[in-house]
Amino acid sequence: MTYFEDTLPLNYESAVQDAINAARYAPNHKNTEPWTFYHLGEQAIKEICDLNYELVKEKKGEIAAAKKRERWLKIPG
């Protein structure tokens, strides 16, 4: 089962901007604006995938962890 495409859609920047604008105008308790958006660089993505690899390896073994890391590294953006 594939959860993510390997490439970003052509107008993904527009979709991201629409999501940010929707969040800005969404009702929120006492105007606390509790959302946060992150756009990670390649190094941060690699480090997160490596950390996740170690966590999965402890619970499910090296083969499962390697498969998950490979899948996660293909997720764009």
Does the predicted model carry a pTM greater than 0.85? Answer: no
Domain ranges of the chain: 12-73
Inform me whether the pLDDT recorded for 1 exceeds 80: no
Model confidence over 10-54: pLDDT tens digits? 888 898 899 888 888 888 778 787 778 888 888 999 999 999 999
Which one has a higher pLDDT value, 76 or 59?
59
Handedness of CA 39, 43, 46, 52 (dihedral sign): negative
Percent helix, percent strand, percent coil in the chain, to nearest 5: 60, 0, 40
